[in-house]
Amino acid sequence: MSETTPPPASALPPHQPMNESDARLWATLIHVGGIFFSVIPALIGYLMLKDRDPFVRDHAATALNFQLTVLIVATVATITFVGVLLLPVVLIVDVIFSIIAALEANRGNSYVYPLTIRFIQ
- Domain for residue 50, yes or no? yes
Q: Report the candidate in 106, 98, 96 with the shortest Cα–Cα distance to residue 26.
A: 106
- Domain for residue 45, yes or no? yes
pLDDT score for 112: 96
pLDDT exceeds 90 at position 11: no
What does the CA dihedral 110, 116, 36, 48 come to, rounded to 10 degrees? 60
Domains in the chain, number: 1
* Span 76-88, pLDDT tens digits: 988 988 788 899 9
Domain holding 42, by residue range, is: 19-107
Q: Which alpha helices (DSSP H) does 13-118 contain, by range?
A: 20-37, 40-49, 54-79, 81-107
- Domain for residue 46, yes or no? yes
pLDDT exceeds 80 at position 110: yes
Is residue 25 within 8 A of residue 52, CB to CB? The reply is: no
- Domain for residue 58, yes or no? yes
- Domain for residue 77, yes or no? yes
pTM of the shown model: 0.86
**What average pLDDT does the structure give for the chain?**
91
* Number of C-beta neighbours around residue 55 at 10 A: 19
